[in-house]
Structure 1
């Protein structure tokens, strides 16, 4: 946690989160000054978040203290008067940390335990089924379904190989469907005697990045697996972000043992139970999965370089989650935006008979736009989220986004507010009119000079809204 600066008596405390460019810029500046930095990760030590906000009045990061003297955020640090900065450095050099300095966690906090799950009771049966010769090709009309079997064929095999009667065999077959081992290709989802065609999840012909094998673990609570995936992503972020926090070394990330472990965990997404998730759990789970899937897609396919490649990327890069395929578009517009049409989409992601519709939020959540990272430089910085206090976390993400001039600029002379293209693309989510949009932006800004400027502009009326160019270039270091 501490850098070794033996000549310094005090410390600089920086409250930060992984993936925050402002945090990394601040720590880089402090390091160049030769100051001992105590970096407190508020994602890891969430118990300190409320206290930091009480001390600073802000929920964004970084928040910086020289001993017990509050300096502010990264912008405040960069704009310090040279004489004032010199006095602060002298304070750290000559004065020990006072008792009323801001709190820091204890050293050597234990890392989260490695995620483990029990082997599913039917995993061995699935391996036997794959070797049985039952799986083959089936024709329905002009279509041929490879690597498939009918409900009747499965029941016949269970009766013969497991020595059970047809009723028990039907119950076992249905359990295999419920426990996400197989999916119907045609017909009903109930797997019993009949002509419905089924496939094992690993044989579903799609480009899901966690397909190709069937997860052998027992059904998992989505939140438990999400936490494990979150920990792996945090490690990847911290290891492969640039010093300014704006670019990612994807090539190095693809060779990381943390990424290898992440891919193993991603396979287990096939077995999660989604329908029992609360709104807060659903938000955290699908935001984290979206951001992780973007990274996985970039590593597997490369970063999309033009409009057509972006369309294909967001409509085809997918995971098998709870037995169903979810693309990036499905997650953003189907689940998190309450099944609304996305940019350039003619139809809603989920039809009324789509089983994934049961997972969609009942209403759009505008704050998700500041949590989702598409991998471009114009996207909000990468963060991860937990169900606990998710709304405050999302508000803090919006506040941080609006603090940045890439998200919002105020031109008082021209009576103009310049906003990210995100607000144009999803204007309906923010009220649908310029007036409602500006009110939403104002309500979600932190106390700052920019907010006061916006308030003065709005009080005069006739405020013009325009949109900043969007930077689609990759955030890769390549």
Structure 2
């Protein structure tokens, strides 16, 4: 874009600007960062409003702009649009807007700002987690150091870091002074509180030769194993919001100045990332079965998105189809005593235990305890909230149970507003869609007519929606799918 010939508005020759530029954004949004970088070049006073922390303003901003995406940019009370709109401004129009901010104050009907002292969600920000040590944590730590845990052979297979039910009961009786019945009950309590698991994954604790293992010793590729969660469990929804907010801020801190790439190497070495990993351990023992539908949606969406970034940091970004398959089928967390991969979360829990891409079987069998936390039916709106990346940034980054359906609806509207999600050609009677609609067509409707009807019903009022209505009324249309950009946004 040609540079302005007005000189820097902040050079002091004409005093400080009277107005302001207002930018509604969210943490970790590449488009927002690019917009702020461009505005910084102009030397304008920018007032940024983090919509994650001030969700009470969403309705008003959408009313003013007609959009659900971020950023939304105002020069005084003149709405410019998003990052692409800002960069498309002609030099003459940009110069006019700069002069407007420099010479005129924001009128009374200017874009809204948060009320003084209002900081919604402040209790869930980075560093707010306070550990209250679990009353049984010391017993577990003592048992871990006592020398009982070791290898056990069963047939041709050797199980490492295990102990039998008898060994635990013997130790509790000998070292903790419990009678035999109380020692057996203590073993059941430790299993109920998700400190230990059956090696076979089935059954309750029993005083027998059956093998058990501390959760931290789970041999699978679990990113939050390796130590025991010794804090009293937080409510699952609250913990997921804390983790998601921490990861988003960490992600934002390591975006490049233009918002196009992420320095994953620096992020993985950050003390803030170490803090995140410490808190992720606390997922091991959260209680999932008591979650409502809304709480499950918010919890598992937040955890999925954080796990994707955690996986990228630990193992690197997948670069081909085989690496992506392994990534989504092996990257996992211990959650509530069970292992959940990315596939398990998306297809098992959030899609009501439906087969995903390249899956021959459903994620959970009828006897799988994880089936108890799966939604009864697939929720199509989750596809616009999961796995946010540089190309498409959902407007709401952290989901809360209270307004989850509104938030998901907003995310869908934002996705469909973007040309990467949906394009409508009225002359050719053609609708081009993201591959997401092809991969998960069963969630939206089993015919093109049902699919487009679903899309129409989930669009915000816009020219694109009117165009889609026009195409549908013809009764003759073509649906095609755009290539999916799997390219990494890593700096390396």
TM-score bracket, normalised by the shorter chain, equals over 0.9
Whether the 8 Å contact between 2:241 and 2:302 is mirrored in structure 1 is: no
Moved more, 59-68 or 279-288: 59-68
Q: Which residue of 1 aligns with 2:228?
A: 214
2:175 to 161, 185, 192: 161
Moved more, 53-62 or 284-293: 53-62
Moved more, 398-407 or 106-115: 106-115
Q: Which residue of 1 aligns with 2:368?
A: 354
Q: Which residue of 2 aligns with 1:182?
A: 196
Moved more, 235-244 or 82-91: 82-91
Whether the 8 Å contact between 2:284 and 2:337 is mirrored in structure 1 is: yes
> 2: CA distance between counterparts of 1:408 and 1:186?
46
2:278 to 222, 240, 264: 264
CA offset at residue 21 of structure 1? Answer: 3.7
Residue 29 (str. 1) matches residue 43 (str. 2): no
Whether the 8 Å contact between 2:396 and 2:411 is mirrored in structure 1 is: no
Q: Do the aligned partners of residues 242 and 419 (structure 1) sit closer, same or farther apart at CA in structure 2, a change above 3 Å counting?
A: farther
Residue 279 (str. 1) matches residue 288 (str. 2): no
> 2: CA distance between counterparts of 1:379 and 1:337?
22
Aligned pairs (5 A) from 1:423-434: 423-434=437-448
Q: Which residue of 2 aligns with 1:16?
A: 25
Q: Deviations over 1:315-372 (max 9, x none)?
A: 1111111111001110110111111000010000000110111111111111111111
Q: Which residue of 2 aligns with 1:225?
A: 239
> 1: CA distance between counterparts of 2:87 and 2:477?
30
Residue 114 (str. 1) matches residue 128 (str. 2): yes
Q: Deviations over 1:29-79 (max 9, x none)?
A: 333333211110110111222232333343332222222333344454444
CA offset at residue 297 of structure 1? Answer: 0.9
CA RMSD of aligned residues (A): 2.3
1:241 to 208, 232, 255: 255
Q: Which residue of 1 aligns with 2:155?
A: 141
CA offset at residue 419 of structure 1? Answer: 0.9
> 2: CA distance between counterparts of 1:474 and 1:376?
9
CA offset at residue 117 of structure 1? Answer: 1.9
Residue 59 (str. 1) matches residue 73 (str. 2): no
1:373 to 387, 402, 405: 387
3-state secondary structure, aligned to 1:389: helix
> 2: CA distance between counterparts of 1:374 and 1:247?
14
> 2: CA distance between counterparts of 1:247 and 1:436?
37
Moved more, 346-355 or 289-298: 289-298
> 2: CA distance between counterparts of 1:165 and 1:187?
28
Q: Which residue of 1 aligns with 2:79?
A: 70
3-state secondary structure, aligned to 1:172: helix
Q: Deviations over 1:349-408 (max 9, x none)?
A: 000110111111111111111111176857968932222211121122222222222212
Residue 461 (str. 1) matches residue 475 (str. 2): yes
> 2: CA distance between counterparts of 1:470 and 1:458?
25
1:96 to 105, 113, 118: 105
Q: Which residue of 2 aligns with 1:337?
A: 351
Q: Do the aligned partners of residues 308 and 291 (structure 1) sit closer, same or farther apart at CA in structure 2, a change above 3 Å counting?
A: same
Q: Give the number of aligned pairs.
A: 476
3-state secondary structure, aligned to 1:65: strand
CA offset at residue 237 of structure 1? Answer: 2.5
Q: Do the aligned partners of residues 4 and 144 (structure 1) sit closer, same or farther apart at CA in structure 2, a change above 3 Å counting?
A: farther
Q: Do the aligned partners of residues 216 and 199 (structure 1) sit closer, same or farther apart at CA in structure 2, a change above 3 Å counting?
A: same
Residue 196 (str. 1) matches residue 175 (str. 2): no
> 1: CA distance between counterparts of 2:475 and 2:262?
42
> 2: CA distance between counterparts of 1:27 and 1:175?
53
Q: Which residue of 2 aligns with 1:470?
A: 484
Whether the 8 Å contact between 2:395 and 2:414 is mirrored in structure 1 is: no
CA offset at residue 215 of structure 1? Answer: 1.1
> 1: CA distance between counterparts of 2:274 and 2:253?
14
Q: Which residue of 2 aligns with 1:50?
A: 59
Unpaired runs of 5+ residues, structure 2, are 1-8
2:403 to 366, 389, 402: 389
3-state secondary structure, aligned to 2:402: coil
> 1: CA distance between counterparts of 2:388 and 2:16?
44
Moved more, 71-80 or 401-410: 71-80
Q: Which residue of 2 aligns with 1:304?
A: 318
Task: Tell me the TM-score normalised to structure 2 length.
Answer: 0.91
Task: Tell me the TM-score normalised to structure 1 length.
Answer: 0.93
